[in-house]
Structure 1
């Protein structure tokens, strides 16, 4: 940051501290002080390994606290074996943590006294072939950013073959494009025209079908869908169970994922990259938005539905034409496809149990009890 931006950041941090923001960071700082004074938790002596996942969502002071735990464990039992594993993806930062692998390695290396040994996963280990191709193509997002603001990782190599004869066969992941019905404005609703409620009913039909079986979700990248639907639907139950915001999807896995608002978010990020002269702060936000989109694209384990028209700019950036078997689908056909999906009794039971566990882990108690 230049001096003016750094000064502004410091003032904002001071104001945020006075208003009880950054509680996790404060707690980490206090924990470091306690550890350095020798006030150690009892369980530390019994610790044989410390494994941290999703480290990219932690700030440096939180990472420093983990390093301090390891240092104190080494001081207590210098000859006892100990493993310290830190894992994460620099291109999937959902929280604006400012994470950087280089800074993290420097910090932990100096704290622990041992330079970290690196292991890089160079290809998709969760998504089927076609969805992995799409996620890989999303690296194109970062071409809008200056080189120093891009993730330090690399595009992934495809080291496995397709299922069946070609990538369009079942088992390689399904990709659909669906144009959503436009919801009526407040002015249209007050006109009393019954046709204005047709899109509302169409959304209600989709939500009803999404919650009828496990393994389905809408990721609302616009962050406005639930708010818009709320006064129009008879109940919020379906939308609360089926619609997730970007900040809620970390660790989420569903068989069918529907993305809403992808192109609008992409265009917003591109605007931040190119229409703010040399200002870095908008570009930091653009980088976070690109990461957010990559996380959303990687939530499906089988079927991904992108709610955009075929000519949307984000689809060109994702090089959708290079992925086999991408199909347009109408709204009624989408609902019919969900209705006719066949699941065994075991798949249904396991799916509901997984969803309930997922809701409870996120503190979404009402949704979990309803499932």
Structure 2
């Protein structure tokens, strides 16, 4: 730390840290977070920043036994209280809707309306503004004059109706509703990049604090590009309700910049001087210039917007990951794409949080001449000959120009501070007054650009994907990597079902498809499928399943066991780092299953996704664990290294109404990963009880050879394991119950059927029921059906509890069950015929016997005595004749 950082580090909370881009705010706050005890929360607007902060926090093996830390994006924080229905509405969603409303609201700008709704009407900690309250706002509290506010409120009401109709939600509106649900939970809270969240969002976080004042906030109001009317004065007033007391509260300011080059920092400071001179100081805390402490001088070049120049620039940068092109707004990207082929093209909203060695700014000023002319109006060059910013407020309170032009000033500031070294500013109006104020002039540009390797581009695509920049990641794969589809069939769920229908239902001739199913059975350890291939398909090779499974199961990824893997990496360049092998594995899954640590490292270095899954929901870690659970040598050998490389930082589950994040350092984490890995085998392999569930003994057996970095020795004990299972059982009354498991029987557990996990579908993430994510319907196809105790009934029960479609008869068993049913029908028919014949015989017997019995007189009557005497007389006569 430098002296300023060290001073902040030693201050107790509550603490507010103001610092520019590259000032080390995040690293400083994380070091302070390490001293907190109990449940602690780090929250920020960006999911990528939250994940990066978490990784930095636990780097170098940091542990704190008295602390349970959770790192969340703001949306994830809201979900941890209760998961909103639907999907979060973005600017693109709003823009598409507003374009259809434009005719009715011609006098309203879409960007300003979006900011007013999110930053004013719905942003207050005291609740959503009523129409009357909105009308009564002061002149500096709204972009719109009082005469137009009714129109804007009409738009807001239509916006709410549109959200409801389209199952979308606005985080501000959700924060307003969730305020009643929030309860004190955290002992300490860090809110990073606080300028990106609104007052009501901030208030919701603070309501989860057990003790007021145990917080640390950090941010930079000069980087506001999200609509929220942020000011540090508002933030302080939220904590200290007395405005005068709030004014006296000191904030810690970090002025050093460790990221940007000296020239980029100089231009950024000039812009801050212009902003302060033109609009006055927003607040005392944002009233500072940045001091560059980096060694790089860098270059800031103003380049005329000429076709020849752009062609030359495009030729140099299109193949380099060191150059990114920035435009002001999303709608400006189409024009930029006509001239620049690089996939690294971002609007300023997308660029937030990014940094590149070289930045090209395209028509930031020329595309908005009037706005920037107004921004520098009345500012003289001599006014900027200062080294510090004095605090002064704007004289005219009715002047809303700062709120109107804030986006343009801050967008340019953010763009300038994305460059680590060089800035290239392309403008058609190079004589615009703003460039004179910034001391920028057209000059000779000597740009050097090195073509990046395919490996570099693979890594860049993965990094952007993690940051939520799907558009740019896909553009890299399409235009740079030019990946081609694999030439072999991939046996995912659809292909397997197709084969099952052909072989078992249609009984297609030939052995090729039977062999493919057998290969699948050996790879995924499906003994029931092998049995059906023998019994129903008459495929005798499958009789050797148990003996040859381990060997044949590797057939589709044998090259991944080799020490030399250049061919595999070339294949990844050709088909993509996430291409699928014949058995629907990614290269990373195959390398993990092979225990090939160097190959795993090489694939991760190229951007392989450790969370990519197969059709059973299993990722690379699960493939490695499956091998370790059945092979002691694998468990004692490569698993220790593989676990450190492959284990995701956390697991997110929805327990039915809220997000629960299970971090990697928790006992529940590895237990959850274990049950996930073993899940399929509970139905496809013989178990002591056909519950389709887990008992502690089976888990301990799987863990018996695992290294200490995977499962700690004190956790690898029956008592501890039983405790973790029981304290997270859905019916358990326990304060920190995560409701992960359901008790099926005494000592037997299964996942809580109401759990769901995140799954990406196209550009969206959705919550998927856990038994759907684990593909229980496909597992049903290969599940055991022991006559004495059927697991099929358990599958039907679990599917019902999870709200999934009803269980169907396995395709492999259709003919056998149909044959059994035919035999049963034949047996029932015979039995019915036998019963009918017996009944007829009885009826015939009754018919022939009835007259005799009916003619005989009742015993004891005179007639009966006469007939008996007659019978005896005949009998005597008959004996005499003999």
TM-score, structure 1 normalization: 0.69
Q: Is the aligned partner of 1:304 residue 2:447?
A: no
* SS of 1:244 mapped into structure 2: strand
Q: Does 1:108 align with 2:239?
A: yes
Give the alignment partner of residue 18 of structure 1, picking from 155, 158, 161. Answer: 161
Counterpart secondary structure, 2:225: coil
For 1:74, what is the secondary structure of its paired residue? Answer: coil
The answer to whether 1:221 aligns with 2:328 is yes
Among residues 349, 359, 372, which one is paired with 1:257 in the alignment? 359
SS in structure 1 of the partner of residue 256 of structure 2:
coil
Hey, what does 1:27 align to over in structure 2? 174
Aligned-pair distance for 1:158? 3.5
Counterpart residue number, 1:245: 347
Q: Deviations over 1:188-210 (max 9, x none)?
A: xxxxxxxxxxx5xx756644543
Q: Which residue of 2 aligns with 1:188?
A: none
Tell me the alpha carbon deviations over residues 183-233 of structure 1, each in whole angstroms, 9 at most, x when there is no partner: xxxxxxxxxxxxxxxx5xx75664454342222101113655532365x58
How far apart, CA to CA, are the structure 2 residues paired with 1:280 and 1:55?
26
- Give the 3-state SS of the residue equivalent to 2:264 in structure 1: helix
Structure-1 separation of matches of 2:288 and 2:457: 32
**In the alignment, which residue of structure 1 is the partner of 2:811?**
none
- 1:55–1:88: 8 Å Cα contact kept in structure 2? yes
Residue 233 (structure 2) pairs with residue 95 (structure 1): no
Alpha carbons 1:55, 1:87 under 8 Å: kept: yes
Aligned mates of 1:138, 1:265 — CA distance in 2: 18
Give 2:264's aligned residue.
131
* Partner secondary structure for residue 230 of structure 2: coil
Q: Which runs of 5+ in 2 are unaligned?
A: 1-137, 140-145, 379-395, 482-882
SS of equivalent to 1:178: strand
- Does structure 1 retain, via aligned residues, the 8 Å contact 2:265–2:290? no
Aligned runs of 1:1-371 on 2, under 5 Å? 1-2=138-139, 3-4=146-147, 6-20=149-163, 23-35=170-182, 38=183, 44=185, 47-70=186-209, 73-74=210-211, 83-110=214-241, 118-143=251-276, 145-147=278-280, 152-156=285-289, 158=291, 160=293, 163=295, 171-182=296-307, 203=310, 206-207=313-314, 209-221=316-328, 225-228=332-335, 238-239=341-342, 241-264=343-366, 267-270=369-372, 280=399, 283-308=402-427, 311-320=431-440, 327-329=443-445, 334=447, 337-338=448-449, 341=450, 353=459, 356-364=462-470, 365-367=473-475, 369=477
Distance 1:254-1:157 versus aligned 2 partners, 3 A rule: closer
C-alpha contact (below 8 Å) 1:92/1:294 kept by paired residues: yes
User: How far apart are the structure 1 equivalents of 2:456 and 2:227?
Assistant: 34
Q: Take 2:181 and 2:315, find their aligned partners in 1: how far apart are those partners?
A: 51
CA–CA distance in structure 1, aligned partners of residues 420 and 413 of structure 2? 14
For the aligned residue pairs, the C-alpha RMSD in angstroms reads: 3.8
State the structure with bigger RCO (CA 8 A, min sep 6), 1 or 2. 1
Distance 1:270 1:225, change over 3 A: closer
Does the 8 Å CA contact 1:123/1:156 hold for their aligned counterparts?
no
Deviation of 1:303 (Å): 1.1
Alpha-carbon separation, structure 2, partners of 1:224 and 1:30: 33
| Other structure's SS at 1:94 match | coil
CA distance in 2, matches of 1:216, 1:307: 14
Distance 1:110 1:368 in 2: 50
Please give the alpha-carbon distance, in whole angstroms, between the structure 1 residues aligned to 2:282 and 2:152.
Answer: 18
Contact residue 246 and residue 292 of structure 1 kept, 8 A: yes
C-alpha contact (below 8 Å) 1:130/1:174 kept by paired residues? yes
Label 1:299 to 1:148 Cα distance change in 2 as closer, same or farther (>3 A).
closer
In 2, the alpha carbon distance for the partners of 1:89 and 1:219 equals: 21
* 8 Å CA contact 1:144, 1:270 repeated in 2: no
- Choose 259-268 or 128-137, whichever is displaced more: 259-268
Tell me if the contact between 1:215 and 1:355 (Cα under 8 Å) persists in the aligned partners: no
Change (3 A) 1:224 1:19: closer
- 8 A contact 1:214–1:352 mirrored in 2: no
- 1:105, CA displacement in angstroms? 1.2
- The answer on whether the counterparts of 2:223 and 2:411 sit within 8 Å (CA) in structure 1 is yes
Runs of at least 5 residues in structure 1 that lack an aligned partner in the other structure:
76-81, 164-170, 183-198
* Pair member with larger Rg: 2
1:68 deviates by 1.2
Aligned length: 307
Give the equivalent residue in structure 1 for 2:588: none
* Aligned residue number for residue 583 of structure 2: none
